[in-house]
C-alpha cells in the first residue's frame, strides 16, 4: 500500500513533562512549551522569538526527547536544543522531569559563567538580568574554573549605549537586531572561539535610530543604557506603562517608563512574561532611540498606569498594592495646631536633592554633579 501516504495531521500532539498540547507543524519545542507556560518552559538566553534566526547558541534550553514521534518512537540519543528542534506528532519531551536535563543545564550555566564577571553590584542590569535568574534557578553555587577570566579593553560604542564586553555571553541577539531592525549593520562579532567579541567596525558609533533595542534584547548587562548608567538600581525605580505618538513610523511608541518620583530615569520597550519585547497587533513593539533616550520627561508621555511586575521579581519590592493610608491624627491630638518640632526629611537629607536632577544628566552622574 505504498500509495497510501498519509497527509501529516493538521496539528501535532506533543507531550512536554506529561502535559499534552496540540501545536501547528513547524513549531519548535520551546515555543510549544511556552504555550503551556510555567515551569515546563525551558529557559532561553539566546533565543528571541521576535528575531529571526536567533537561538541555538547558548544551550540553556536543552531538553530530553524521550520519544521522537508516533511513527518513530525511539528517543533522541542526545539532549536537543529546544529552540531549534521542531516538534513531531506524538513527541514526548522531558524538561524538568529529566535529571539529565537538570544536570546538563547546571553545566551550561557553569560554562556561561566561566568568563562572566561577578560585578552584579555595579551592573545596571542586575534585577532584570536573565543570567542572574538562570544562575539562581538552574545553576550550582560554586565554580570549578581556576584560570584567569577573559577580559577586554573597554570600548566606547556611542553616546547612548554602554558596552561591557566582559559581561557578554555571545548570544548574538544584538547582532540580529542590528541586522533585522536597522538598515545598516555596523557591529558584529569579531574573532572566534574564546576571543570572539562584539564590536563596531573600527569603533564606528551606532547611530541608527533603532540601535537602542539592543539594550532590551541583551540578556545580560553587556549592553546597557548610558543615559541610565549608575543613576539608580532597577528595583528602586517605579515602572509605568506609557505611550506617545512617535513620528517614526516604525516605532510603536508604547513603552515602560522607569520613574523615580517625577523623574523619568529610563525608557524601555514593554516586556512580556518571557522577557521579550511585547507584540502589538502581531508586530514586535520596538521603540526608536528618540523615545528611548531623548524623552526623559513625564510631560512627553501619556501614562497609562503601573506596569504589572511579577511578585517574585526584586523589582516588585516596595510596590505596596492596596495600601490604606492611616488617618492623619496629629491635628486632632494637637488640638488643631501643627506640632512645633516636625522634621521634614527633605530638609535634612542629602539624597534626592531637588537641585540635582539626575534624569537631566546625559550620562552617568559624577562627583562634580553632586558637589555643585
| Shorter beta-carbon distance to another protein: residue 147 or 320 | 320
| Shorter beta-carbon distance to another protein: residue 80 or 126 | 126
| Shorter beta-carbon distance to another protein: residue 116 or 231 | 231
Task: Give the integer Cα–Cα distance in Å for 357 and 262.
Answer: 10
| Shorter beta-carbon distance to another protein: residue 236 or 274 | 236
| Shorter beta-carbon distance to another protein: residue 74 or 233 | 233
Q: How far is the CB of 185 from another protein (least distance, A)?
A: 29
* Interface residue list for another protein (CB under 8 A): 119-122, 126, 229-233, 235-236, 314, 317-318, 341, 343, 345, 347-352, 358, 363-370
Q: How far is the CB of 369 from another protein (least distance, A)?
A: 7
- HSE-CB at 181 with a 13 A cutoff on CA atoms is 31
Q: How far is the CB of 148 from another protein (least distance, A)?
A: 19
| Shorter beta-carbon distance to another protein: residue 119 or 304 | 119
What would the 3-class secondary structure string for the chain be? Answer: CCCCCCCCCCCEEEEECCEEEEECCCCEHHHHHHHHCHHHCCCCCCCCCCCCCCCCCCCCCEEEEEECCCCCCCCCCCCEECCCCECCCCEEEECCCCHHHHHHHHHHHHHHCCCCCCCCCCCCCCCCCHHHHHHHHHCCCCCCCCCCCCCCCCEECCCCEEECHHHCCCCCHHHHHHHHCCCCCCEEEECCHHHCEEEEHHHCCCCCCCCCHHHHHCCCCCEEECCCCCCCCHHHCEEEEEECCCCCCCCCCEEEEEEECCEEEEEEECECCCCCECEECCEECCCCHHHHHHCCCHHHCEEEEECCCCCCCHHHCCCCCCCCCCCCCHHHHCCCCCCCCCCCHHHHCCCCCCCCCHHHCCCCCCHHHHCC
| Shorter beta-carbon distance to another protein: residue 123 or 177 | 123
Q: How far is the CB of 348 from another protein (least distance, A)?
A: 4
Q: How far is the CB of 60 from another protein (least distance, A)?
A: 24
Q: How far is the CB of 320 from another protein (least distance, A)?
A: 11
Of 105, 100, 116, which is closest to residue 140 (Cα–Cα)?
Answer: 105
Of 309, 268, 247, 4, which is closest to residue 125 (Cα–Cα)?
Answer: 268
Q: How far is the CB of 262 from another protein (least distance, A)?
A: 16
| Shorter beta-carbon distance to another protein: residue 70 or 313 | 313
Q: What is the chain's alpha carbon radius of gyration, rounded to the nearest angstrom? A: 24
Q: How far is the CB of 317 from another protein (least distance, A)?
A: 6
| Shorter beta-carbon distance to another protein: residue 142 or 318 | 318
| Shorter beta-carbon distance to another protein: residue 203 or 317 | 317
Cell numbers standing for residue 3: 500509495
Q: How far is the CB of 358 from another protein (least distance, A)?
A: 7
Q: How far is the CB of 342 from another protein (least distance, A)?
A: 9
CA distances for 174 relative to 32, 52, 75, 121, 171, angstroms: 25, 12, 35, 24, 8
Amino acid at each position: 500500500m505504498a500509495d497510501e501516504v498519509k497527509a501529516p495531521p493538521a496539528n501535532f500532539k506533543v507531550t512536554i513533562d506529561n502535559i499534552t498540547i496540540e501545536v501547528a507543524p513547524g513549531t519548535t519545542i520551546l515555543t510549544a512549551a511556552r504555550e503551556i507556560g510555567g515551569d515546563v518552559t525551558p529557559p532561553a538566553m539566546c533565543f528571541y522569538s521576535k528575531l529571526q534566526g536567533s537561538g541555538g547558541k547558548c544551550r540553556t534550553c536543552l531538553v530530553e526527547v524521550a520519544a521522537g514521534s508516533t511513527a518513530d518512537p525511539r528517543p533522541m540519543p542526545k539532549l536537543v536544543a529546544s529552540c531549534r528542534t521542531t516538534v513531531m506528532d506524538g513527541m514526548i519531551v522531558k524538561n524538568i522531569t529529566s535529571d539529565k536535563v537538570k544536570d546538563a543545564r547546571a553545566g551550561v550555566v557553569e560554562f556561561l559563567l566561566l568568563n562572566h564577571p561577578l560585578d552584579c553590584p555595579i551592573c545596571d542590569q542586575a534585577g532584570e538580568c536573565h543570567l542572574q535568574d538562570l544562575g539562581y534557578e538552574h545553576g550550582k553555587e560554586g565554580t570549578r574554573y581556576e584560570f584567569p577570566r577573559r577580559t577586554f579593553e573597554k570600548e566606547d560604542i556611542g553616546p547612548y549605549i554602554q558596552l561591557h564586553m566582559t559581561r557578554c555571553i555571545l548570544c548574538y541577539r544584538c547582532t540580529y537586531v542590528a541586522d533585522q531592525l536597522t538598515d545598516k549593520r555596523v557591529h558584529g562579532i569579531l574573532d572566534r572561539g574564546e576571543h570572539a567579541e562584539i564590536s563596531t567596525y573600527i569603533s564606528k558609533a551606532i547611530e541608527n535610530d533603532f540601535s537602542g533595542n539592543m539594550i532590551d534584547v541583551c540578556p545580560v548587562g553587556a549592553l546597557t543604557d548610558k543615559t541610565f548608567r549608575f543613576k539608580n538600581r532597577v528595583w528602586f525605580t517605579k515602572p509605568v506603562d506609557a505611550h506617545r505618538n512617535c513620528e517614526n513610523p516604525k516605532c510603536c511608541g508604547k513603552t515602560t517608563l522607569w520613574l523615580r518620583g517625577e523623574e523619568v530615569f529610563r525608557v524601555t520597550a514593554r516586556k512580556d512574561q518571557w522577557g521579550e519585547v511585547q507584540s502589538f497587533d502581531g508586530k514586535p513593539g520596538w521603540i526608536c532611540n528618540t523615545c528611548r533616550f531623548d524623552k526623559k520627561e513625564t510631560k512627553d508621555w501619556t501614562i497609562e498606569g503601573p506596569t504589572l511586575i511579577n511578585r517574585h521579581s526584586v523589582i516588585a519590592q516596595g510596590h505596596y498594592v492596596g495600601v490604606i493610608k492611616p488617618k492623619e491624627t496629629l491635628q486632632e491630638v494637637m488640638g488643631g495646631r501643627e506640632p512645633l518640632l516636625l522634621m521634614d526629611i527633605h530638609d535634612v537629607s542629602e539624597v534626592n536633592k531637588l537641585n540635582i536632577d539626575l534624569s537631566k544628566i546625559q550620562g552617568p552622574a559624577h562627583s562634580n554633579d553632586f558637589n555643585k
